[in-house]
């Protein structure tokens, strides 16, 4: 493969949730030389114990929804919140909102 990019989809991590230490390694071989490069990753565990609420519980595309997430515990801190929606295909989700605040409106 002739590329300078490494792309790993979330499916790899989701299918192997029991693994939290990852090493991606590439070996370059030339006629007389060999070179190696690697990248070590540690996946973050999911937060625990919290609750998220949404109000109102139903609406239309013009309805403003208030979302509040409280009491979540994460040793690595929570950097952002993402709201997903599913269509008729439950295997695919779409991001519909993103916030760095735990209480926000969409």
**21 found inside a domain:** yes
pLDDT tens string 22-41: 999 888 888 889 998 899 99
In a domain, 4, yes or no: no
The 10s digit of each residue's pLDDT in 32-77 is: 899 988 999 988 888 889 999 999 999 998 999 999 999 999 988 8
d(CA 76, CA 42): 11
58 & 86 share domain: yes
Which domain, by its residues, includes 85?
51-105
The total number of structural domains in the chain stands at 2
Question: Would you place residue 1 in the very low, low, confident or very high pLDDT band (cuts 50, 70, 90)?
Answer: low
Q: What is the largest CA-CA distance in the chain?
A: 67
Whether 12 and 6 have beta carbons less than 8 Å apart is answered as no
Both 96 and 55 in one domain: the answer is: yes
Q: What is the pLDDT of residue 21?
A: 93
Cβ 103 vs Cβ 67: under 8 Å: yes
């Amino acid at each position: 493969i002739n590329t300078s990019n490494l792309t790993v989809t979330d499916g790899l991590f989701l299918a192997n949730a029991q693994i939290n230490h990852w090493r991606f390694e590439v070996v370059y071989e030339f006629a007389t030389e060999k070179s190696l490069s690697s990248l070590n990753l540690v996946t973050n565990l999911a937060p625990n114990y919290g609750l998220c609420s949404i109000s109102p519980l139903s609406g239309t595309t013009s309805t403003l929804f208030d979302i509040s997430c409280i009491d979540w515990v994460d040793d690595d801190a929570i950097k952002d919140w993402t709201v997903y929606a599913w269509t008729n295909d439950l295997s695919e989700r779409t991001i519909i909102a993103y916030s760095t605040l735990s209480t926000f409106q969409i």
